[in-house]
């Protein structure tokens, strides 16, 4: 049964994460604005620069006016820790009025097999990344725009906290993804509790789970239809980060995590038997009896795939509004 919404949660703004429509390459920034407005959402969170490839050449002021004319906020995102790149993105975010800039540690993939196999090597990498980020902290302070590192299936909760500690600035926080922590054998609810005080923006996402002989599969789905304890996570975020925007992300994708294979586990030097067991129990207790087929895997037409995806988005918006006590 869904918990009654906390009063603080009802003030939270709901936005659309651009990754939701990453399968539609022709969508422009303005298309996202129109989509968010049609869904009666409060803003758009551009998780990357795919639709804004050259922010230094774009009409940023015009885009800001367009968003404001529709009553939408505009959150800008990118990836990596290169200081020159981050400075340019923060400059663009200032013009756009973005309340935060999302980034992430790894520019390779969400679970990169180049992750170090020892804690010492990982800390060395985190130290190098922190040194880069410290160079842009004065820009964050100047424009009062926090940099928010996503738990992007590339760093564990403990590693993210270490990175923030090494950077040592309140202007650097977290973009919390409600589903990603499980990929690194962290409990999403416990991750929300640990990272909550530093959360600046949120990817609101759910995953279904299916067991495999070598581990498990995470399957993107509509909010409220997966295994994540979204009610519990929202309650934590309402308490710890009541001003963070919640950006709906519905990644219709499958990702396999062979966590029972030694090669995979070797890139998680901080993993514990407890964490592995907890994750596999979650898959056992809340997983599907078999791995579902996505429309694209069933040989559906492009039109049918898009229609199914759109329905997932609509169901997700409906769930989020009910969860936040915001009935249309």
The CA distance from 251 to 15, in Å, is 15
Burial of 175 (0-12, 13-18, 19+ CB in 10 A): buried
Does the residue 325 lie in any domain? no
Residue 68 Cα distances to 11, 62, 283, angstroms: 19, 10, 43
What does the pLDDT look like over 271-280, one tens digit per residue? Answer: 999 999 999 9
Confidence label for 106 from pLDDT (cuts 50, 70 and 90): confident
Does the residue 282 lie in any domain? no
What does the pLDDT look like over 157-205, one tens digit per residue? Answer: 999 999 999 999 999 999 999 999 999 999 999 999 999 999 999 999 9
CA nearest to 129, candidates 172, 96, 173, 82: 82
- Ramachandran angles phi, psi of 73, nearest 5°: -85, 160
Overall domain count for the chain: 1
Does the residue 162 lie in any domain? yes
Does the residue 170 lie in any domain? yes
- The CATH number of the domain where 151 resides is what? 3.20.20.150
Tokens (6 digits) for 76: 């800008």
Does the residue 324 lie in any domain? no
Q: Which domain holds residue 240?
A: 9-206+227-253
Does the residue 294 lie in any domain? no
pLDDT at 10 over 50: no
Report the pLDDT averaged over residues 105-130: 83
Confidence label for 206 from pLDDT (cuts 50, 70 and 90): very high
What does the pLDDT look like over 297-319, one tens digit per residue? Answer: 888 898 888 898 899 999 999 99
């Amino acid at each position: 049964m869904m918990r009654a919404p906390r009063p603080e949660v009802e003030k939270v703004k709901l936005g659309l994460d651009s990754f939701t429509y990453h399968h539609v390459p022709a969508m422009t920034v303005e298309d996202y604005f129109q989509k968010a407005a049609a869904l009666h959402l409060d803003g758009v969170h551009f998780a990357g620069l795919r639709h804004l490839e050259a922010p230094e050449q774009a009409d940023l002021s015009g885009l800001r006016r367009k968003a404001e004319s529709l009553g939408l906020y505009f959150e800008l995102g990118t990836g990596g820790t290169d200081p020159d790149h981050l400075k340019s993105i923060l400059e663009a975010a200032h013009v756009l009025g973005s309340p935060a800039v999302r980034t992430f540690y790894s520019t390779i993939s969400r679970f990169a097999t180049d992750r170090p196999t020892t804690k010492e090597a990982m800390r060395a990498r985190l130290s190098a990344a922190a040194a880069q980020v410290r160079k842009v902290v004065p820009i964050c302070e100047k424009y009062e725009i926090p940099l928010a590192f996503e738990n992007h299936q590339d760093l564990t909760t403990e590693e993210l906290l270490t990175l923030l500690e090494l950077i040592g600035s309140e202007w650097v926080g977290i973009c919390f993804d409600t589903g990603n922590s499980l990929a690194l054998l962290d409990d999403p609810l416990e991750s929300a509790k640990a990272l909550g005080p530093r959360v600046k923006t949120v990817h609101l996402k759910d995953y279904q789970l299916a067991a495999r002989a070598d581990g498990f599969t995470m399957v993107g789905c509509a909010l409220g239809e997966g295994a994540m304890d979204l009610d519990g996570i929202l309650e934590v975020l309402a308490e710890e980060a009541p001003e963070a925007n919640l950006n709906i992300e519905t990644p219709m994708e499958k990702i396999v995590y062979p966590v029972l294979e030694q090669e995979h586990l070797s890139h998680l030097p901080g993993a514990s038997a407890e964490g592995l067991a907890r994750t596999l129990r979650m898959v056992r207790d809340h997983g599907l009896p078999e791995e579902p087929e996505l429309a694209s895997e069933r040989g559906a037409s492009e039109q049918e795939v898009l229609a199914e995806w759109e329905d997932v988005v609509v169901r997700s918006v409906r769930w989020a509004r009910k969860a936040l006590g915001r009935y249309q």
